[in-house]
Chain A
Amino acid sequence: MDVLVCIKRVPLVGGEILLTEDKMEIDDRRLGFGLSPHEECAVEAGVRLIEEFGGTVTVMTVGKAAAEEQLRDQLAIGPDRAILVETTSEFDPQGTAGALVEAIRSDGTNFDLIILGAESADTAGYQTGIRIAHALGRPVITNVKGIKVENGSIRCERQVGSDREVYEVPLPAVITVKDGVNIPRYPSVPGRIKARKKPVDKVIPTPPVARLEKTGLSVPPTKSTGAKILGHGPEAAIALVALLREIGIAK
């Protein structure tokens, strides 16, 4: 089977998020970049399917030229090739989905399964997977925590509260996964070396008409994480018991 995994390059922020002077972007000068944990799981899921059934995995992203770094990182754990839909500015979810669909169509591969993370780590729109499925006329299962492919269909589990929902749809399909669907492997050195030789095709998308306009960013006030000292020695016991009752652990 042929699997496509779509990912997004995002800054890996620390505790305190700094913004640029115009408050339009995260100040990423001192930050590294990566993927959301969901997307790492998406790539791992794709690679595992191919290890089980044979076929190809392609990773694709819409982003600036620098996003090639994330494509190469993912190629190191097993995908066969990558496609960079290269932009000079950030697209809104509709634009992103449109650019991905355009690239999927022009690539010509009839992907049996398209996997995305449930949401990106930065803007968290939860939309791209659904929009792709809609545009391609395919079924979509979102927030997936378990995957099983058999007989031309895919059976997925979602977590709802403490219960599970199970969906089964025919392939080709689109799914969006949550972290926990698997434990992604670390890239090995041979994987990295191979990744350097794998093809990364670059395509330029038709610029979308932006429907969403970013007016600015603000950092929400952070909750104090300061530890509260309940007391010292035996005197702490009373306060501790009171706290355990308060949070429902003791009655």
Chain B
Amino acid sequence: MSSLPTKAKVVVIGAGIVGNSVAYHLARLGWRDLVQLDKGPLPNPGGSTGHASNFIYPTDHSKEMTQITLESMRQYKEMGVFTECGGIEVARTSERMQELARRMSSAKAWGIEDVEIISPERCKELVPFLDETVILGGFYTPSVGVVDSVRGGTIMRERAIELGALQSFANTEVLGIDVEEGRVKRVRTDRGDIEAEYVVIACGCWSPRIASMAGASIPLTPAVHQMKDLGPVPHFANSKGDIEFPIVRDMDTNMYERQHGSGIEVGSYAHRAILYSPDDIPSNAAATLSPTEFPFTQEDFDLQDEHALELMPEIIGDEKIGQKYAINGILSLTPDGMPIVGETPEVKGLWSCAAVWIKEGPGTGKSLAEMMIHGESEIDMNTSDIARFHEHQKATFHIKARTAEGFNKTYGIVHPNEQWESNRQVRLSPYYEQEKALGAVFYETVGWERPFWYESNAPLLAKYGDAVMPRTSEWESRWWSPIINAEHLEMRQTAGLVDLTAFVIFDVKGPSALNVVQQVAVRQMDVAVGKVVYTPVLSHNGGFKSDLTIMRLAHDCFRVVTGGAHGMADKKWFSDHCPADGTAQIEDLTSNFTTLGIWGPKAREILQSVTADDLSNEAFPFGNCRIIEIGPLRVLASRISYVGDLGWELYVPMEQGAKLWEQIWNAGQPHGLIPVGIGVYGTTGRLEKSYRAFGAELETEYNVIETGMQTPKVKAQDFVGKASHLSQREATPVAILCSLTVEDHTSSTGEKRYMLGREPIMTLDGAPIVDAKGRRSYVTSAGSAPSLGKHILMAYLTPEHSVVGNKLIVEYLGDHYPVTVAGVGAAPLFDPKNERILS
């Protein structure tokens, strides 16, 4: 065996599907001098790849997940290790039938056309050994298949070796990772040390342990997925290959059944969450089977046996078919269910590609390689970004609580607004008690408890009657209240007080601070002190990396305010653009400052009544910020709006928040000030104004021109993505973000239904709308526009469809609804001249 090199450009730790994919794609894209290590033997080093069930269903409600899965399927097919067999997700309940219709919408929205809802009889035709009387129907995807993931990984590794790019070392255990001056320096192993510019952790369920060697965090947990193999099955006696019958997902019981040669594999996500820590996993030598095949615990599978028997009595009920093999297989779970991909925020040059399952492996490896080499990936990976985690989300308690809660939702019917029940009340704003007293219904954002609406506003329902657009169907009423719309209407008449403590706030300070913000922001940042700039932040290719607000507080100090969900990634992006000489520094002030927003026609009157500072439009115009005094407090007031009304964001140190609330609340009572929740701030207020949201409309797949957010001029200074942005401005956009209104909400059963987002938009004859870049039209955001009396959808449309008055349809839960293009580009439907904001 050749000896370990002492230096390499990249050390990839892990030789499962992910590590092999990363190594191959780095090599394919031209990098050389790569070294791969695994403590286990090849080709199956003993991780989760070796015991995976290896089947792939392409559709997921997450666009990112679906795109990665489709890319992975493409690669498996190219390698010749993919066997198409089809798959049926069956429903035992009417709730599930609705969910299957929703899954079909997601499939179509993400471009998977060959899918259908089928009858129980058709299910039986395709899978003759299931009992069609226990199901109501199925969602059939003919393109489902199984892969040989160990073979696929081997092919990728061998290709990288053939390119002369990779040396691969099995049976080599990593003992440590050295970090010098914040950058990864070397990997220490039981066979010697290797200096490396980059280290990729692709160690599956061991990843947290490897990351912690470098002082970084990969917040995942090893967890059990139970499966058993039964056989021999007479139905499969004449089967030629590994699989000939479609794979059945018994969604309501959280189980699947698939043919596996002459046997049938029964797997489950229904049992109790069984979580481990990486240190619980035995060594290869001490493991009875492989290290990640834990002893099967039958008592956790007892109920699943009965469920499998119900669905497939001919096979499962056959006493001659025995259980040949059963394991508690270990896989990786994360607190939010998404993979952990990207450069660690803690250590430069240390990359994670973890919590990636078989169906995502090749695609994710490709994306990671693109990120390392080009700085960004073709597929927008922002919901997998390792930088997304806030500190508390790295705590073992959080990881265990959320993975335990999420595990049984693997096949669950998860509402788009569904809230976590575990590990709540971790971050509380200074107004939490006041909000609770007002009947706030709290939703969580990155640990913060945020009022979504206030029950104390329930009396407004009578005042506004049907204008609150009441909903009758359970699905759209879930995680929603008409009080949101009542708050909206009242805010438009008086004023609303909004808790915005969940903002991520950080300063960019120092002599080079201006250069840093100029580099990151599209808009001109060399503005007067006291100016507030809302700006897109672009990727190198000119797609949306973020959108955020920057206040210039001094010649050398800029305060960045951004949403909680994406704030940590934004912070890393700015941090990555700070010069190495330390002349610009990032200071995270998220926990130092709390923010209250006050908006509405009475906002000025209310605020003016508690401050001596001049708040008139002339003295304090839109887009400015300054310190004002409110009672005993010095408050940073910023005149901007995300809800479309006159008002300010008010920033004070966290401990003074309660005093600020008291001052504003008391002053507001004579003017009819009400507390307003995030339901208005995040949805109804912004949709009426056509304000875009990151992660919904804004993502790296779309550029500034397509969102309609371009300014007349581009600043002279350089910024990330400028070259791309300039050429995008020259070209005719192939898609334009539009606002649509729903013309008739009546479903096929006569009920009024309201889309929640992510539904496919189609032409009147039901054809999908696909732009010149192959992107489908789907609803990026949906919600009530109470001031307009309409339900608004945002969607990117091709230019020929981006015409006001153009009629299209939206598919929602299997029905088609007529919609009309009401606005093209950023033009707001409500107060189009922005008189409210600017007065």
**How many Å lie between the Cα of A206 and that of B67 in the bound state?**
66
Interface residues of B in 296-335 (CB under 8 A from A): 296, 298-299, 302, 305-306, 308-309, 316-324
Q: How far is the CB of B329 from chain A (nearest CB, A)?
A: 13
Q: Is the CB of B286 within 8 A of A15?
A: yes
Asked whether any CB of chain B lies closer than 8 Å to the CB of A190, the reply is yes
Q: Is the CB of A30 within 8 A of B324?
A: no
Q: Is the CB of A13 within 8 A of B288?
A: yes
**How many Å lie between the Cα of A187 and that of B316 in the bound state?**
11
- Contacting residues, chain B, for A72 (C-beta < 8 A): 298
Contact flags A30-64 to B (C-beta < 8 A → 1, else 0): 11110000000000000000000000000000000
Contact flags A2-44 to B (C-beta < 8 A → 1, else 0): 0000000000111111100000000000111100000000000
Q: Is the CB of A30 within 8 A of B294?
A: yes
**How many Å lie between the Cα of A12 and that of B289 in the bound state?**
10
Of all chain A residues, the one with the shortest Cβ separation from B232 is A186
**How many Å lie between the Cα of A69 and that of B300 in the bound state?**
12
Query: Given that A190-B317, A193-B305 are known contacts, is A32 also in contact with B322, CB under 8 Å in the complex?
Result: no
**How many Å lie between the Cα of A30 and that of B321 in the bound state?**
29
Query: Given that A16-B283, A16-B285 are known contacts, is A189 also in contact with B298, CB under 8 Å in the complex?
Result: no
Of all chain B residues, the one with the shortest Cβ separation from A27 is B286
Q: Is the CB of B309 within 8 A of A188?
A: no
- Contacting residues, chain B, for A186 (C-beta < 8 A): 230, 322-324
**How many Å lie between the Cα of A196 and that of B302 in the bound state?**
9
**CB < 8 Å: which of B286, B298, B309 contacts A30?**
B286
**CB < 8 Å: which of A14, A189, A196 contacts B230?**
A189
Asked whether any CB of chain B lies closer than 8 Å to the CB of A73, the reply is yes
Q: Is the CB of B309 within 8 A of A190?
A: yes
Of all chain B residues, the one with the shortest Cβ separation from A68 is B299
Of all chain B residues, the one with the shortest Cβ separation from A14 is B288
- Contacting residues, chain A, for B302 (C-beta < 8 A): 192-193, 196
**How many Å lie between the Cα of A192 and that of B306 in the bound state?**
10
Q: Is the CB of B322 within 8 A of A185?
A: yes
- Contacting residues, chain A, for B317 (C-beta < 8 A): 189-190
**How many Å lie between the Cα of A193 and that of B283 in the bound state?**
34
Q: How far is the CB of A188 from chain B (nearest CB, A)?
A: 5
**CB < 8 Å: which of B230, B288, B296, B316 contacts A31?**
B288
Q: Is the CB of B282 within 8 A of A14?
A: yes
**How many Å lie between the Cα of A186 and that of B230 in the bound state?**
9
- Contacting residues, chain B, for A14 (C-beta < 8 A): 282, 285-289
The total of interchain contacts (Cβ-Cβ below 8 angstroms) comes to 71
Contact flags A63-86 to B (C-beta < 8 A → 1, else 0): 000000100110000000000000
- Contacting residues, chain A, for B324 (C-beta < 8 A): 186
**How many Å lie between the Cα of A193 and that of B306 in the bound state?**
7
**How many Å lie between the Cα of A191 and that of B305 in the bound state?**
10
Asked whether any CB of chain A lies closer than 8 Å to the CB of B295, the reply is yes
- Contacting residues, chain B, for A13 (C-beta < 8 A): 288
Q: How large is the interface on B (under 10, 10 to 19, 20 to 34, 35 or more residues)?
A: 20 to 34
- Contacting residues, chain B, for A18 (C-beta < 8 A): 286
- Contacting residues, chain B, for A188 (C-beta < 8 A): 230, 318-323
Q: Is the CB of B298 within 8 A of A192?
A: yes
Q: How far is the CB of A205 from chain B (nearest CB, A)?
A: 25
Of all chain A residues, the one with the shortest Cβ separation from B304 is A189
Q: How far is the CB of A47 from chain B (nearest CB, A)?
A: 12
- Contacting residues, chain B, for A17 (C-beta < 8 A): 286
Asked whether any CB of chain A lies closer than 8 Å to the CB of B280, the reply is yes
**How many Å lie between the Cα of A207 and that of B320 in the bound state?**
42
Q: Is the CB of B305 within 8 A of A30?
A: no
Interface residues of B in 261-283 (CB under 8 A from A): 280-283
- Contacting residues, chain A, for B285 (C-beta < 8 A): 14-16
- Contacting residues, chain B, for A192 (C-beta < 8 A): 298, 302, 305, 323
Q: Is the CB of A69 within 8 A of B298?
A: yes
**How many Å lie between the Cα of A152 and that of B296 in the bound state?**
41
Query: Given that A18-B286, A30-B280, A189-B230 are known contacts, is A73 also in contact with B298, CB under 8 Å in the complex?
Result: yes
**How many Å lie between the Cα of A100 and that of B295 in the bound state?**
28
- Contacting residues, chain A, for B296 (C-beta < 8 A): 32
**How many Å lie between the Cα of A116 and that of B318 in the bound state?**
29
Contact flags B181-198 to A (C-beta < 8 A → 1, else 0): 000000000000000000
**How many Å lie between the Cα of A30 and that of B295 in the bound state?**
8
**How many Å lie between the Cα of A31 and that of B306 in the bound state?**
27
- Contacting residues, chain B, for A189 (C-beta < 8 A): 230, 305, 308-309, 316-317, 321, 323
Interface residues of B in 386-418 (CB under 8 A from A): none
Q: Is the CB of A12 within 8 A of B288?
A: yes
**How many Å lie between the Cα of A64 and that of B647 in the bound state?**
71
Query: Given that A186-B323, A187-B322, A188-B320 are known contacts, is A32 also in contact with B298, CB under 8 Å in the complex?
Result: no
**How many Å lie between the Cα of A17 and that of B316 in the bound state?**
36
**How many Å lie between the Cα of A169 and that of B457 in the bound state?**
90
**How many Å lie between the Cα of A69 and that of B297 in the bound state?**
9
**Which of A13, A72, A185, A193 has the most chain B CB atoms inside 10 A of its CB?**
A193
**How many Å lie between the Cα of A215 and that of B37 in the bound state?**
42
**How many Å lie between the Cα of A15 and that of B41 in the bound state?**
14
Of all chain B residues, the one with the shortest Cβ separation from A184 is B322
Query: Given that A14-B286, A187-B323, A189-B323 are known contacts, is A32 also in contact with B295, CB under 8 Å in the complex?
Result: yes
**How many Å lie between the Cα of A12 and that of B317 in the bound state?**
29
**How many Å lie between the Cα of A73 and that of B324 in the bound state?**
13
Interface residues of A in 137-169 (CB under 8 A from B): none
**How many Å lie between the Cα of A189 and that of B308 in the bound state?**
9
Q: How far is the CB of B823 from chain A (nearest CB, A)?
A: 58
Q: How far is the CB of A18 from chain B (nearest CB, A)?
A: 6
Of all chain B residues, the one with the shortest Cβ separation from A196 is B302
- Contacting residues, chain A, for B320 (C-beta < 8 A): 188
- Contacting residues, chain B, for A191 (C-beta < 8 A): 319
Q: How far is the CB of A40 from chain B (nearest CB, A)?
A: 12
Of all chain B residues, the one with the shortest Cβ separation from A77 is B322
**How many Å lie between the Cα of A73 and that of B295 in the bound state?**
14
**CB < 8 Å: which of A33, A190, A196 contacts B295?**
A33
Q: How far is the CB of A42 from chain B (nearest CB, A)?
A: 18
**How many Å lie between the Cα of A33 and that of B299 in the bound state?**
14
Of all chain A residues, the one with the shortest Cβ separation from B309 is A189
Contact flags B760-788 to A (C-beta < 8 A → 1, else 0): 00000000000000000000000000000
- Contacting residues, chain A, for B295 (C-beta < 8 A): 12, 31-33
**How many Å lie between the Cα of A18 and that of B287 in the bound state?**
10
Q: How far is the CB of B319 from chain A (nearest CB, A)?
A: 5
**How many Å lie between the Cα of A146 and that of B302 in the bound state?**
35
**CB < 8 Å: which of A32, A193, A196 contacts B288?**
A32
**How many Å lie between the Cα of A189 and that of B322 in the bound state?**
7
- Contacting residues, chain B, for A30 (C-beta < 8 A): 280-282, 286-287, 294
Contact flags A185-223 to B (C-beta < 8 A → 1, else 0): 111111111001000000000000000000000000000
**How many Å lie between the Cα of A192 and that of B324 in the bound state?**
13
- Contacting residues, chain A, for B286 (C-beta < 8 A): 14-18, 30
Of all chain B residues, the one with the shortest Cβ separation from A185 is B322
**How many Å lie between the Cα of A86 and that of B84 in the bound state?**
52
- Contacting residues, chain A, for B282 (C-beta < 8 A): 14, 30
**Which of A13, A15, A69, A186 has the most chain B CB atoms inside 10 A of its CB?**
A186
Of all chain B residues, the one with the shortest Cβ separation from A78 is B319
Q: How far is the CB of B317 from chain A (nearest CB, A)?
A: 6
- Contacting residues, chain B, for A16 (C-beta < 8 A): 283, 285-286
Q: How far is the CB of B281 from chain A (nearest CB, A)?
A: 8
10 contacts between A and B (CB under 8 A): A14-B288, A15-B285, A30-B281, A30-B294, A31-B288, A33-B295, A188-B323, A192-B298, A193-B306, A193-B309
Please list the residues of chain B having a beta carbon within 8 angstroms of any beta carbon in chain A.
230, 280-283, 285-289, 294-296, 298-299, 302, 305-306, 308-309, 316-324
Please list the residues of chain A having a beta carbon within 8 angstroms of any beta carbon in chain B.
12-18, 30-33, 69, 72-73, 185-193, 196
New A-B contacts (16) at CB < 8 Å, excluding given A16-B285, A30-B282, A189-B321 = A12-B295, A13-B288, A30-B281, A32-B294, A69-B299, A72-B298, A186-B230, A186-B323, A186-B324, A188-B318, A189-B230, A189-B317, A189-B323, A190-B309, A190-B317, A190-B319
Of all A-B residue pairs in the complex, the 7 with the closest CB atoms, nearest first, are A186-B322, A32-B295, A16-B285, A14-B288, A16-B286, A30-B282, A188-B319
